[in-house]
Structure 1
C-alpha cells in the first residue's frame, strides 16, 4: 500500500503556537480572577477545539460566563500572537517541498478555527501547499473524535488507510488512529507512554523526511 496523502495537524506541528494558546488562556482567564498554569493547559485543553477549551475552563472553575465569550477572546488573542510572533517549526518548508516534489496530496486537519488557520497561512506563506483544509469547527465533534481526519480523507478522495498523519498531541493521535490512518508524532513530551500508540515517534520534521524516503 502506497501512502501518498499526507495530513498535517497545525498547532504544535506546523507552527510553534502551543505557547500562544497557553499564554492566551492564562491571560484571558486572569481577567476573570482564575489562575491556571501551563501544566493545566497541557493537561486539560491541549489539542482540543476552542469550544471544548472554553467549556472546560468554565466547568472546572464554575465561571458564570458564556463560554462563547471566552472562546472569542482566546481566538482573538492567539490570532494576534501568531501574526506578531509566529514561527514555522524546524523542517516545515523542507518537508512541504519534499511532499510536493514526490507527488503527495497535502491536507490540513486541525482543531483550530478558520481565523487561526488563516493567520498561520498568512504568517508562514504556506497556503499554496495545501489541497485540502479542514477545521474541526465544521464538525459536530472535535478531536479526539476522528471526524476532522475522515473529512480530510473524503475531500482528498482517498481511503483513510492510505493517509499518513503528523501529530503532536495525544488528543490528535487518538483522533487519527481512530480514523484508521498511519500516524507519526513529534511530541512535546516523548516520554509520555500514550505516544506508543503512534506508528513512529520523531524529534523533528527532518526525521519525517528520512522516514518517508
Structure 2
C-alpha cells in the first residue's frame, strides 16, 4: 500500500497533464475549414475545452450545418490531431514531477480523458508518461462523456478503488463536475482563467485559480495528505 493509504489519483490529460489544447484547436480549425467553415477562432474553441471529441463534433454538425457523419469528422480530426501532436506535445513540468512523486510512493494512478484511445496512447507514449500511467479510460469507452461521471467511475473500477478514495486532477468545468458527480475529491487547475468562477469549480476540494502557474507537485502532495490545509 502507498504512503497515502487507499488513495488513488485520476488525471485528466488535455490541459491538465499536457498542453495539447493548441493542437486540438488547430486540428479542429483545419477540419472545419475542409468542410466549409472558415475562421474558427480560439475563443470558439474554448467553449469545447473539457468536452469529449465526439460530443464536440456532434455539436459542430448542428451548429455549423455540416452534413458529414460524426464518424467521418472524428476520423479526419483525429488524423490531423495525431499529425500535430506527434511532432511535439509539452508536459507541464510540475505535473510530470507530481506523477513521478506519486509513482515513487506507490500511489495508484489512471488517466480519464475525453480524447480517443489512439490520441491518449500517442500522447502518453510520446511524452514518456506511459511508464507511470498505464491505466487509461477514454470517453469513447463509456456511455457518456464529461460532465457525466462515467470515465472517472470506470477508471476507479479498473484501479480497484472506491470512488470516495479517488482524487481527480482536472482543468475544465465539465471534468470538475464529473468528479463531483462521481463522489470524488478534485484538484482543479483551470486551463481557461476566465472560467475559474464557474459554479462547477466551486465543488473542487482545491481550486488553483492561477492555473498551471500556481500548481506545484509538492504542494499538491501536501494537500493529498491533509485536505483540510491549503498549499
Which TM-score tier does this pair reach, normalised by the shorter chain?
A: over 0.9
Per the alignment, in what secondary structure is the counterpart of residue 40 of structure 1?
Answer: helix
Q: Secondary structure at the match of 1:183?
A: strand
For residues 171 and 6 of structure 2, what CA distance do their matches in structure 1 show?
A: 20
Query: 1:40 Cα shift?
Result: 1.0
Q: Which runs of 4+ in 1 moved over 3 A?
A: none
Look up the SS of the partner of 1:25 in the other structure: helix
Tell me the residue number matched to 1:178.
181
- Residue 133 of structure 1 is matched in structure 2 by 136
* Aligned match of 1:97: 100
Classify the secondary structure of the residue corresponding to 2:86.
Answer: helix
1:91-133 per-position Cα deviation (integer Å, ceiling 9, x unaligned): 1221112101222101111111111011111211121212421
Q: TM-score, normalization: structure 2?
A: 0.86
**How far apart are the structure 1 equivalents of 2:32 and 2:194?**
30
Q: Describe how 1:111-150 pairs up with structure 2 within 5 A.
A: 111-150=114-153
- TM-score normalised per structure 1: 0.93
Q: 1:204 aligns with which of 187, 197, 215?
A: 215
Alignment: residue pair count: 212
CA apart distance, 1:55: 0.9
Give the Å deviation of 1:210.
4.2
The question of 1:47 aligning with 2:58 is answered no
2:64 is matched with which residue?
Answer: 61
Q: Secondary structure at the match of 1:117?
A: helix
CA RMSD of aligned residues (A): 1.7
Alpha-carbon distance change, 155 to 188 in structure 1, aligned in 2, over 3 angstroms: same
- Ranges in structure 2 where 5+ consecutive residues have no aligned partner: 209-213, 226-231
SS of equivalent to 1:104: coil
Pair 1:4-2:7 in alignment: yes
**Contact kept in structure 2, 1:49 and 1:136, CA below 8 Å:** yes
Give the conservation status (yes or no) of the 8 Å contact 2:46–2:192.
no
SS at match of 2:187: strand
